Amino acid sequence: MVFYKQSKTKEPNNANKAYEYAVFLLSLQLRTVGEIREKMEKRGYPPAIIESVLEQLHEQKYLDDARYAEVFLDNLRQYKNLGYFGIKRKFMLKKLPSDLIEKVLEEGLSKEDELKIAKRYLKKLPSSGVILSPSAAEDEESLKYVKRSFTGVQDDAEIAKQKLIQKLKSRGFRGEVIAKLLF
């Protein structure tokens, strides 16, 4: 982890240097318009230069928040065990516009998809002592009652279910998905 203060640019009004800096940032990893804007502001570039650079990058198709959001959503759905609100939080950290976030989530993350992600997450957890609802279970093995809880000590099934609900909520799953899964 690096703990040094980012230096201000020596030539804040040089549009070419600003463009080169933005391209350098994009060469490291894909970024959103909001992330590039924030990094350039921290570097000391004036708003007019930042906007012209962002417009130029957008015209050259180096920046496309909509496409970025779709790819990011696919990666989160495939590799992370996050629900609707957890994914929304990740999008907000990437400085994506809220209307774009809502649109992408509405189109790209159905409740069925979220339910599949929740099931995948539950399979990774230690046995919880909770019986999944028959509508949520994919097979008989999912319905099996296991006598261990998260702590490894025999707990009441209702307490274990409450712990499981809290774990799912902390991962950003919607209440409807949790209810369908456990009740």
Confidence of residue 31 (pLDDT cuts 50, 70, 90): very high
Among all chains, which residue has been given the structure tokens 């998260």? 150
| pLDDT at residue 20 in the model | 94
Confidence of residue 173 (pLDDT cuts 50, 70, 90): very high
Backbone angles phi, psi at 62, to 5 degrees: -80, -25
- Interval 65-87: pLDDT, tens: 999 999 999 999 999 999 999 99
127 SS3 class: coil
Question: pTM of the full predicted structure?
Answer: 0.78
Our CA dihedral for 33, 37, 43, 49, rounded to 10 degrees, sits at 110
The two tokens of residue 30 are 């894909």
| pLDDT at residue 48 in the model | 95
Structural domain boundaries in the chain: 15-59, 65-108, 111-182
Task: Summarize the confidence of residues 21-38 as an average pLDDT.
Answer: 95
